[in-house]
Chains A and B, each alone.
Chain A
Amino acid sequence: EIVLTQSPGTLSLSPGERATLSCRASQTISSSYLAWYQQKPGQAPRLLIYGTSSRATGIPDRFSGVGSGTDFTLTINRLEPEDFAVYYCQQYGSSPRVTFGQGTRLEIK
């Protein structure tokens, strides 16, 4: 089973700052199969990034993703008030086919 470990667990930043969120896999995964989601309280997750670095429809360009192998990063530049939420990474691979990271909570400092 591929385990995704996200860090930090909680990130406290101010609007306008840059957020850097990490997702580390326990085994090498294909960069095609790494995605990021944003979840706000009371809402379903929202797709942000797929294939490590491709933004989903309607996602602003302040969101960007990079990575390969076992290390992947989501960067949010110039934080807006609406960006404060929980972020999950997700991979597809061997059984169980899909796993999620435990999430990073981005909170207003």
Chain B
Amino acid sequence: QVQLQESGPGLVKPSETLSLTCTVSDGSIGTYFWTWIRQPPGKGLEWIGFIDYSGSTSYNPSLKSRVTISVDTSKNQFSLKLSSVTAADTAIYYCARVRVYWFFDLWGRGTLVTVSS
């Protein structure tokens, strides 16, 4: 059964760049679109962006100037970079798989990233 696993630093300093990777356990990264979603502690869900296997992306306009999502099909991974972070970027970051009608059927367990000096 395919699984997604987020990895990366749990603590990032203000103004620095948050970097996370999502590893897809089987070879299906070349078959689907993938996405990052975040959730501030105790709050709701916010979509960050999509990427497909060719590297085409779509980002939330509210984050677009600071976000880069990339894919490495040779490693079965896709990644998130969020620059110039502030405390408002503290959240649980989830990676997920995108299905045909743009819903998310498979999620990673999430990783908490705290922005603090």
- Residue of A37, A46, A96 near B62 (CB, 8 A) is A96
By a CB distance below 8 angstroms, the chain A residues around B47 are 96-100
Q: How many residues of A contact B (CB 8 A)?
A: 25
In the complex, the chain A residue whose C-beta lies closest to that of B50 is A97
Which of chain A's residues 72-105 have a Cβ closer than 8 Å to chain B? 88, 90, 92, 95-103
Which of chain B's residues 53-83 have a Cβ closer than 8 Å to chain A? 58, 60-62
Q: How many residues of B contact A (CB 8 A)?
A: 21
By a CB distance below 8 angstroms, the chain A residues around B10 are none
Tell whether B108 is near chain A: CB-to-CB under 8 Å. Answer: yes
Q: A44-B110, A97-B50 are in contact. Are A90 and B61 (CB under 8 A)?
A: no
Are B60 and A96 in contact, CB atoms less than 8 angstroms apart? yes
Are A50 and B103 in contact, CB atoms less than 8 angstroms apart? yes
What is the 8 Å Cβ interface bit string for chain B, positions 70-107, against chain A (1 contact, 0 not)? 00000000000000000000000010000101111101
By a CB distance below 8 angstroms, the chain B residues around A98 are 35, 47, 60, 102
Tell whether B109 is near chain A: CB-to-CB under 8 Å. Answer: yes
Are B102 and A100 in contact, CB atoms less than 8 angstroms apart? no
Interface residues of A (CB under 8 A from B): 32-33, 35, 37, 43-47, 50-51, 56-57, 88, 90, 92, 95-103
Interface residues of B (CB under 8 A from A): 35, 44-47, 50, 58, 60-62, 94, 99, 101-105, 107-110
Listed A/B pairs (8) with beta-carbon separation below 8 Å: A33-B102, A44-B94, A90-B104, A96-B61, A97-B58, A97-B102, A99-B47, A100-B45
